[in-house]
Structure 1
Amino acid sequence: MSPAAPDAPNASDAPDGMWSIGELAEQAGATVKTVRFYTDRGLLPETARSAGGHRRYGPEALDRLRLIRSLRTLDLPVPEVSRVLDQEDALEDVIAGQLADLGSQLAALRWREAALHLLRDCTAEERAERLRLVGAVSVPPSTAALARFWRGVLPVRLPPRLVSTILDGAVPQLPADPTPSQVLTFARMHAIATGPRPVTDFCRPIPRQPDRGCRPAVLYEGLGEAYDLVVADVRAGRPPHGGEALDAYVCAYAASRGMRDTPAFRRQLSRLLAWIADPVITRYWDLAGDLAGPAAPTFGAADDWLRAALDSEVAEV
């Protein structure tokens, strides 16, 4: 029979009730180098020094070292480990921060995977353009360029609350797990947002109507109300028609100019909207609709529906 293994060293066995750095490392199943590393960075304070200047550790150091190693197993950086050790309530915040970082890393990986599939599953002729579009987008992607685009397109001096509402509707939420098609759609939107800025002037004077100036805040506030009224019709795929939503739409333009909603005003407004329609903005809204899907009609889809309703009504007169 082989002799029994000697008991592991205990701090109480030492004359001063403390462990050497080697004994502490053995108790924790770590290396001396690891213990020295954490000690040098202030995570594992030594209790005392021996007469020969060697580090000595008390019994509490073992629990602290085990906790440090557990936190490091989760890939927590040393500064975050230090926060957890020094602040009793810091662990929850540190975990939340690490989850946020991990989510960002996963989002970047999903985006990169979808982009690679997009580039793999296309013809050689398509690949050059797709590579240019996708290569211009950061990973993980950011919608900051789209927000800047719309801030530049919108009239100046709109109330901040109204600008925020418009940006919420104009800048899409990116899918957490994008398909290759969604990657391409967003890359095209990004190309529009970073290209030449279109000139859109919904406050342009209406021909044959008195020009009393225009109040953009009144216009965009009213358009928002009209869009809210028509969302259900757009989502259900109903054909454009007259009614409360169209009345609110025309009223927004009329009220912004201090004018009345009359048949003559509607005819002139129909012509104006056809004249000032910008293909770049139209393309943006088409892409935004593709990204959002039919269940979430965009402002652009709502505006198209209302303009079609207005054109149809005017044509019947």
Structure 2
Amino acid sequence: MCSIGELAQSAGVTVKTVRFYSDRGLLPEACRSAGGHRRYGPEAADRLRLIRSLRALGLPVPDVRRVLDEEAAGERALEDAVAGQLREVASGLKALRWREAGLRLVQECPPGERAERLRLVGAVTAAPSTDVLVRFWRAWLPARMPAGAAAQFLEAAVPQPPDEPAPGQVLAFARLCALVAAPCTGGAPPQPHAHHEAGARGAAVLYGGLAEAYELAAVALRRNGAPQPGEALDCFVAAYASAYGTRDSAGFRRRLAGQLGSDPRLDRYWELVAEVVTPPGGRPEPTAGVAHDWLLAALTAPAAAPAAAPAGRGSGAG
């Protein structure tokens, strides 16, 4: 047996620290002396060292208690607690990197632009959130669109902020958030024609087909290919035909080209998305908006008549 002072000295901590852990049940005392002083058994020193190690890793007292209580039963309490702390550390590091890039953005810009950049960057949290982008698209999509289809669309349309951003990426993300947060004329985002014609369930079919068409168009875009008829365009038209409940034909393509040409444009959104996701010196990946524009240009090309008349799979995000 040892006293509280002897235990504290052996572990290199203060008596106050030992008493703190004892009072919270992390370091049980073996007994009390005749004078009411705490006495600890030989295992207390190892337990105290383990407690200090867990606390040094940042584990809060409740997690330390779970680790100590479940250690003998072979539970995964320690693994889970450490994993949780790692997630917190990663989140904190990302916030610091965004803060650093934001500071560099202000430091390196011309004096005449600092006020605007301070306003833009100040509106973005240190750990950037995409909530404002998600709200924008949810207001833009049909209200009763199936949840799974809406989630798939949001995954493609909402860029994830990079963990280690360059100042330019921070500026692009701040501008993107400011763009979608600006009030729309009439109080609601303008809707493409397809949302009215296809309805909520038709829109789900439409966006599922468009995702495939955009991927096919992205292949040509990476090769710097000019817009032209082919598999990507056929898939693009088929998505609309399926959503509208009709068939692909030369007449349908002419009507579709007219509709898409008059739909509201979101070009600035996609330009900023490309800046957010492209690291400095990297080659921009084709966004859904860029792929949509490529396909629309292919649709309006002179030789855009269908090679066949496939039954389609089911508005563009251009």
TM-score by length of 2: 0.85
Q: CA deviation at 1:218?
A: 2.9
Q: Which moved more, 1:172-181 or 1:32-41?
A: 32-41
Q: Contact 1:130/1:184 (CA < 8 Å) preserved in 2?
A: yes
Q: What one-letter code is carried by the residue in structure 2 that aligns with 1:95?
A: V
Q: Contact 1:270/1:311 (CA < 8 Å) preserved in 2?
A: yes
- 2:6 corresponds, among 12, 23, 30, to 23
What are the Cα deviations for residues 170-216 of structure 1, in whole angstroms up to 9, with x where unaligned?
Answer: 011221100000001111111122222421223277xxxxx898932
Secondary structure, counterpart of 1:173 in structure 2: coil
Cα distance in 2 for residues equivalent to 1:23 and 1:212:
78
Q: Contact 1:266/1:314 (CA < 8 Å) preserved in 2?
A: no
Cα distance in 2 for residues equivalent to 1:28 and 1:257:
75
Secondary structure, counterpart of 1:272 in structure 2: helix
Q: In structure 2, do the counterparts of structure 1 residues 315 and 54 end up closer, same or farther at CA, with 3 Å as the change threshold? A: closer
- 1:36 corresponds, among 15, 19, 23, to 19
- 1:221 corresponds, among 178, 183, 208, to 208
- For the pair 1:184 / 2:167, whether they are aligned, the reply is no
Cα distance in 1 for residues equivalent to 2:195 and 2:49:
71
1:203-282 equivalence runs, <5 A: 203=194, 215-278=202-265, 281-282=266-267
Cα distance in 1 for residues equivalent to 2:84 and 2:37:
38
Q: Contact 2:11/2:45 (CA < 8 Å) preserved in 1?
A: yes
- For the pair 1:311 / 2:300, whether they are aligned, the reply is yes
Unaligned stretches of 5+ residues in structure 1? 1-17, 206-210
Q: What one-letter code is carried by the residue in structure 2 that aligns with 1:199?
A: P
1:85-104 equivalence runs, <5 A: 85-88=68-71, 89-104=76-91
- Report the equivalent of 1:175: 162
What are the Cα deviations for residues 84-107 of structure 1, in whole angstroms up to 9, with x where unaligned?
Answer: 211223111111011000001100
Q: CA deviation at 1:36?
A: 1.3
Q: CA deviation at 1:134?
A: 1.0
Q: Contact 2:32/2:38 (CA < 8 Å) preserved in 1?
A: yes
- Report the equivalent of 1:46: 29
Q: In structure 2, do the counterparts of structure 1 residues 212 and 101 end up closer, same or farther at CA, with 3 Å as the change threshold? A: closer
Cα distance in 1 for residues equivalent to 2:108 and 2:138:
36
Q: Contact 2:209/2:236 (CA < 8 Å) preserved in 1?
A: yes
- Report the equivalent of 2:272: 287
Secondary structure, counterpart of 1:313 in structure 2: coil
Q: Contact 1:267/1:314 (CA < 8 Å) preserved in 2?
A: no
- 2:39 corresponds, among 52, 56, 73, to 56
Q: Contact 2:102/2:121 (CA < 8 Å) preserved in 1?
A: yes
- 2:182 corresponds, among 192, 195, 200, to 195
Q: CA deviation at 1:45?
A: 0.9
Cα distance in 2 for residues equivalent to 1:306 and 1:262:
16
- Report the equivalent of 1:76: 59
What are the Cα deviations for residues 278-306 of structure 1, in whole angstroms up to 9, with x where unaligned?
Answer: 2xx22111111222334532211110110
- 2:120 corresponds, among 133, 138, 143, to 133
Secondary structure, counterpart of 2:193 in structure 1: coil
RMSD (Å), alpha carbons:
2.1
- Report the equivalent of 2:146: 159
- Report the equivalent of 1:296: 285
Secondary structure, counterpart of 2:153 in structure 1: helix
Q: What one-letter code is carried by the residue in structure 1 that aligns with 2:193?
A: F
Secondary structure, counterpart of 2:220 in structure 1: helix
Q: CA deviation at 1:23?
A: 1.6
| CA radius of gyration, larger in | 1
Cα distance in 1 for residues equivalent to 2:147 and 2:226:
34
Q: Contact 2:195/2:203 (CA < 8 Å) preserved in 1?
A: no
Unaligned stretches of 5+ residues in structure 2? 306-318
Q: CA deviation at 1:251?
A: 2.4
Q: Contact 1:133/1:184 (CA < 8 Å) preserved in 2?
A: yes
Cα distance in 2 for residues equivalent to 1:26 and 1:247:
78
Q: In structure 2, do the counterparts of structure 1 residues 230 and 271 end up closer, same or farther at CA, with 3 Å as the change threshold? A: same
Instruction: Give identity over the alignment, percent.
Output: 56
Q: Contact 2:142/2:199 (CA < 8 Å) preserved in 1?
A: no
Secondary structure, counterpart of 1:75 in structure 2: coil
TM-score by length of 1: 0.85
Relative contact order higher in (CA < 8 Å, ≥ 6 apart): 2
State the aligned residue count. Answer: 292
Cα distance in 2 for residues equivalent to 1:142 and 1:49:
54
What are the Cα deviations for residues 108-153 of structure 1, in whole angstroms up to 9, with x where unaligned?
Answer: 0000000000011112221111111111111200112211211111
Q: Contact 1:47/1:58 (CA < 8 Å) preserved in 2?
A: yes
Secondary structure, counterpart of 2:161 in structure 1: coil
